Chain A
Amino acid sequence: MSETADKVKKIVVEHLGVEESKVTENASFIDDLGADSLDTVELVMAFEEEFGVEIPDDAAETILTVGDAVNFIEKNKAS
């Protein structure tokens, strides 16, 4: 697992208070990890803060799973 994925996982565990084992690549924040719409806003903010990337609202709407977050961050962090 990449360093980004590790950090994302840690943030998700911390913010949603879920077991680390449940935070898989395909896990959906809302359907699998119990987040509500406000939790997802806060998660996106935490990703922005941790990785120094900006995640615009329209992009944030497409980040539904842990994997989506990791992919977006890795793509935008480098550029």
Chain B
Amino acid sequence: MRSRQGLLHPNDECERSATVREMRRVVITGLGMVSPLGANVGDTWKRLLKGESGAARVETFEVEDLPCKIACQIPRGDGQNGTFNPDLWMEPKEQRKVDDFIVYAVAAASEALDDADWHPESYEDQIRTGTLIGSGIGGLEGIERNSLLLAEKGPRRISPFFIPGSLINLASGHVSIRHGLKGPNHSVVTACSTGAHAIGDAARLVALGDADVMVAGGAESPVIRLSLAGFAACKALSTHFNDDPTRGSRPYDRDRDGFVMGEGAGIVVLEEYEHAKARGAKIYAEVVGYGLSGDAYHITAPASDGDGAYRCMSAALKRAGVTPDELDYVNAHGTSTPLGDEIELRAFERLVGDSAHKITMSSTKSAVGHLLGAAGAVEAIFSTLAIRDNVAPPTINLDNPSVETKIDLCANAKREKQIDVVLSNSFGFGGTNASLVLRRVVD
């Protein structure tokens, strides 16, 4: 019975409501990514499984006076050897008009649509395909640059492309224009939960019948002086590994001291199950659960009792019709901040109880850093690939766990095991939480 339960299969309360219609099943049929470990999904996944880190000292702007001088930046180059060449995805004159998060979104969306082999040409297909891409902060670089320009040279020097190049929903806008996607055009802004919320919300649009296909995910380009200064002021960044950058992001380790900022985009193609089957699409996994909650506690700190995280995970499992003991792998939020990692771990232990010893949980932020609004999306992709390949990516730099736990934290080496059901967590500033449950599709 539970294997037939879709993403939003009415739960007990919903069944009493006459207004809720039957939900449709939603599957993932395409993946696209630009990350600090590579310009695409394949290169990133390979390096992630090897336990490589994308962190390095920032060389692209002055960091001498900043407490955090490291970040996980996209390896730019000519497009060879896993480097990212934006010119291959967007004409240089178009890149000039937008912030980098839009360039990353455009590249990852093109990869995802190619991977899904979905290029709607008929009007009917176009209006049934939508876009829902979010960002935590959006075009901060453009805002910084134009603010300085305004102060120095006055309003007549502000470019007409400043606003459309910085707006968060313009990632969805550009992707929809390039691919003729005329269905729902939407966006999400929930800090570090953005990517997970975008995929969850988009899956609901498909489940509810507003679209048959949704291009969904998150994009972020935060590695600039202004945001390193801002996040450092919040005491959120790692500051003790400036001379040893690849060791900076170390979730659950006793020496962790903050997150290492990352950049990039993760985009998935979500599709109604019968629609995907009818066209013979490759199906990676089913989005079976999505949970949301609020901490109502503090603007940046997670609630110490982990109750928001717990309720979020429980809600996602309930929607999925999955019991905690069925979970094979968890992609944790695990940012490497002193407070957050343990609160999430304790909340998860409370959720799974006696099943803890059977579950593998890792934080891929240890390798790619924290991609903020893109994090939940790239982590949903890693979760999908964990199901495809039956392997959990490692938590690197976990040399001395700060806590004892029965959960396998996948320290420093990938774990090969049967993985059919995965939970992916994202928690953001403002106390906003999102969890996704993905499951292997077996007919």
Contact = CB atoms under 8 A, between A and B. Distances in A.
Contacts of A41: 160
A38 B93 CA distance: 13
Contacts of B161: 38, 42
Nearest to A13: B93
Interface in A12-32: 15-17
Interface string B152-176: 0000110111001000000000000
A45 B91 contact: no
A15 B93 contact: yes
A45 B159 contact: yes
Given A15-B93, A17-B92, A38 B160 contact: yes
Contacts, number: 17
B92 A45 contact: no
B92 A42 contact: no
A2 to B, nearest CB: 25
A6 to B, nearest CB: 20
Interface string B164-208: 100000000000000000000000000000000000000000000
Interface in B40-93: 91-93
Interface string A48-66: 1100000000000000000
Given A38-B161, A42-B161, A17 B156 contact: no
A48 B154 CA distance: 13
A17 B93 contact: yes
Interface of B is mostly: helix
Listed residue (A15, A42, A49) with the most chain B CB atoms within 10 angstroms of its CB: A42
Contacts of B157: 45, 49
Which of the four size classes fits the interface of chain A?
under 10
A8 to B, nearest CB: 17
B159 A17 contact: no
A56 B420 CA distance: 64
A16 B159 contact: no
Contacts of B156: 45, 48
B408 to A, nearest CB: 52
A17 B91 CA distance: 9
B433 to A, nearest CB: 39
Nearest to B94: A17
B160 A42 contact: yes
A45 B92 CA distance: 19
B349 to A, nearest CB: 53
Contacts of A49: 157
A15 B93 CA distance: 6
Nearest to B158: A45
Contacts of A16: 93
Nearest to B96: A15
Contacts of B164: 38
A44 to B, nearest CB: 10
A16 B93 CA distance: 7
Interface in B121-167: 156-157, 159-161, 164
Contacts of A38: 160-161, 164
B94 to A, nearest CB: 8
B146 to A, nearest CB: 12
B91 A42 contact: no
Contacts of B91: 17
Listed residue (A38, A41, A48) with the most chain B CB atoms within 10 angstroms of its CB: A38
A10 to B, nearest CB: 14
A15 B159 CA distance: 12
Contacts of B160: 38, 41-42
B297 to A, nearest CB: 43
Contacts of B93: 15-17
A15 B94 CA distance: 9
17 contacts: A15-B93, A16-B93, A17-B91, A17-B92, A17-B93, A38-B160, A38-B161, A38-B164, A41-B160, A42-B159, A42-B160, A42-B161, A45-B156, A45-B157, A45-B159, A48-B156, A49-B157
Interface of B: 91-93, 156-157, 159-161, 164
**4 shortest interchain CB distances as A-B pairs:** A17-B93, A38-B160, A41-B160, A42-B160
Given A38-B161, A45-B157, 14 more contacts: A15-B93, A16-B93, A17-B91, A17-B92, A17-B93, A38-B164, A41-B160, A42-B159, A42-B160, A42-B161, A45-B156, A45-B159, A48-B156, A49-B157
